[in-house]
A and B are shown apart, each in its own frame.
Chain A
Amino acid sequence: MRYFQQEIETMAPEAIRALQSEKLVRQVKHVYEHVPYYRALMDEKGITPDDIRGVEDLHKLPFLSKADLRETYPYGMLAVPLADCVRIQSTSGTTGKRVIAYYTQKDLDLWEECCARAIVAAGGTREDVVQVCYGYGLFTGGAGLHGGSHRVGALTLPMSSGNTERQIQFMMDLKATILCCTPSYAAYIGEALKERGYKPEDNHLKAGIFGAEPWTEEMRRDIEKSLGIKAYDIYGLTETSGPGVAFECSEQNGMHVNEDHFIPEIIDPDTGEVLPDGEKGELVFTSLDKEAFPLLRYRTRDICVLTREKCPCGRTHVRMAKPMGRSDDMMIIRGVNVFPSQIETVLLNEGYAPNYRIEVDRVNNSDTLDIYVELLPEQFTDTVSGITKMERRLAEAIKIMLGISPVVHLVAPKTIARSEGKAVRVVDKRKLHD
């Protein structure tokens, strides 16, 4: 099986464009009639649904940004009665108020199809055993790949994140063939397997589908080597439904955007002007089939390039490069890209609660990274050496993940300040000096 939905995935570009035009007209009308917030934006620009007759009119529509989603939280972007929705998913809310996305049953079905396309593109069939260790719950990673794996008919292991010992046990005992998680967790599992004396050929994995955080080509090669697999990238945002908006094929040369459900555009982030294919700019998505949470011209803030060059895999959908630069949560510390999610991954793996504070500062022209982590009552011991040993062990595990050494400080439970019930994670004091 090369494609999950061959007819759509290999459709002639003109036919895709015609399909998009037809769907766009419907989607704009749906939004205009049911989302007063967006209707007001259109009214302000003096356009009505009648002005949008096809893809060529897309540029006339106003943009949406994360600020709009915050403004309209929690129901303001909902385009169907709440009773028609069957699910929500949500962002972690680390960079401000969280975003809640709503789904009707049809929205879920289409999302899962997108994820199924990604799994099949990575070589997945109903014979496969798919280990999903993205977080389950509000995060879209677990739900998306889980649903996609069901659609393919593969045996799905709903592992969720963390508990590396158990991940490895299931991976080995049930001969998992496809691993789905964040690239940093994949790298971590690779390390953990090596530490336990496993060689890359000892597992049954053939592929991994990794997303939800930016990663480099170098990291891809490392993961492929340590797990003995081919590693595939997958892209998506909670705002657009989740992972599966775009996915890599066996060429590993850009991610095919599911153009029958989304129109991607690249714009100049300063002027908002649409840029031609091949130029670098901000990635913008318009949904075409969404019932509950349709977003027109949503600015992702990811900097990216699109290419329409023919892909040898046979898929005709446009490809997006790995987004470069910018992500709200990313910090650059001693020249290394650091994401709070990477640190959180290590904490969960090492048995700590994800309550932590990261302090970045600059001392004598060198960046410092201090991580404050709450001790759990059962981890407390009566000797100083016991606690400093735990701090050193945790610092070592974080160093393996990030490539730079932090100083870990264990602190008493419930002493890290929380806002909206969640720990405030990052304090970057370097800004004070700039």
Chain B
Amino acid sequence: MKQLTVFVENRRGGLAVLTRLLADARVDMKALSIADTRDFGILRLIVSDAEKASDTLQKAGFLVQITEVVGVTLPDRPGALAQALDILDQDGVNLEYLYAFLSSEPGTARVVLRVADNAEAERILTQNGFSIL
């Protein structure tokens, strides 16, 4: 699945401008995570329309990239994520980062994973009974 990655400098109002632009373009945000340092942040978004969101932000001067990530549905119970990660780890899949987002299906949770080899991770997770988004 496609993730929208945006470079944001740590200055006042930056995020407000960005979310307003997406709202005006009628892009719906499904998940959001931010990794930041003293100087800058990297905002990662799952949105309803990644291409449209990317165009909108680029036109406004943002540095944007569309990154392929793995979305996986997990049962909403203790240990489910740990189990998925163990499986990937055992198969030598290197995890860069992950973040969760709300699921509309009761009893399930959703997680976005960023790994070096998406196809490989998807294959392993599917084989082990996880469903890929």
List residues of A whose CB falls within 8 A of some B CB. Answer: 375, 377, 380-384, 387-388, 409-415
Question: Chain A residue with minimal CB distance to B114?
Answer: A382
Contact assessment for A412 and B62 in the assembled complex, using a CB-CB cutoff below 8 Å: yes
B130 contacts chain A at the CB level, 8 A cutoff: no
List residues of B whose CB falls within 8 A of some A CB. Answer: 3, 5, 7-9, 35-37, 39-40, 42, 44, 61-63, 65, 67, 96-97, 114
Shortest beta-carbon distance from B114 to chain A in Å = 7
Contact assessment for A388 and B63 in the assembled complex, using a CB-CB cutoff below 8 Å: no
By secondary structure, the B interface counts as strand
Contact assessment for A412 and B9 in the assembled complex, using a CB-CB cutoff below 8 Å: yes
Could you list 9 further interchain pairs (A-B, Cβ under 8 angstroms) beyond the known A410-B39, A412-B63?
A381-B65, A382-B5, A382-B44, A382-B114, A383-B35, A384-B42, A411-B39, A412-B62, A413-B61
The number of residue pairs between A and B whose CB atoms lie closer than 8 Å in the complex comes to 46
Complex: how many Å from CA A377 to CA B5?
Answer: 12
Contact assessment for A377 and B42 in the assembled complex, using a CB-CB cutoff below 8 Å: no
Within 8 Å by CB of B3, from A381, A382, A409, lies A382
Contact assessment for B63 and A387 in the assembled complex, using a CB-CB cutoff below 8 Å: no
Complex: how many Å from CA A412 to CA B9?
Answer: 7
What chain A residues lie within 8 Å of B62 (beta carbons)? 412
By secondary structure, the A interface counts as loop
Complex: how many Å from CA A387 to CA B7?
Answer: 10
Within 8 Å by CB of B42, from A383, A411, A413, A415, lies A383
* Residue among A375, A377, A381, A412 with most chain B CB within 10 A: A412
Shortest beta-carbon distance from B50 to chain A in Å = 13
What 7 A-B pairs have minimum CB-CB distances, sorted nearest first?
A382-B5, A382-B67, A384-B35, A409-B39, A412-B63, A380-B63, A380-B65
A384/B7 contact (C-beta < 8 A), A377-B63, A413-B63, A414-B61 known: no
Shortest beta-carbon distance from A291 to chain B in Å = 47
What chain B residues lie within 8 Å of A381 (beta carbons)? 65
What chain A residues lie within 8 Å of B42 (beta carbons)? 382-384, 387
A380/B61 contact (C-beta < 8 A), A387-B40, A387-B42, A409-B39 known: no
Shortest beta-carbon distance from A151 to chain B in Å = 47
Complex: how many Å from CA A412 to CA B5?
Answer: 13
Contact assessment for A410 and B65 in the assembled complex, using a CB-CB cutoff below 8 Å: no
Contact assessment for B37 and A388 in the assembled complex, using a CB-CB cutoff below 8 Å: yes
Question: Chain B residue with minimal CB distance to A379?
Answer: B63
Question: Chain A residue with minimal CB distance to B69?
Answer: A382
What chain B residues lie within 8 Å of A415 (beta carbons)? 9
Complex: how many Å from CA A387 to CA B35?
Answer: 12
What chain A residues lie within 8 Å of B37 (beta carbons)? 384, 388
Complex: how many Å from CA A414 to CA B7?
Answer: 13
Shortest beta-carbon distance from B95 to chain A in Å = 11
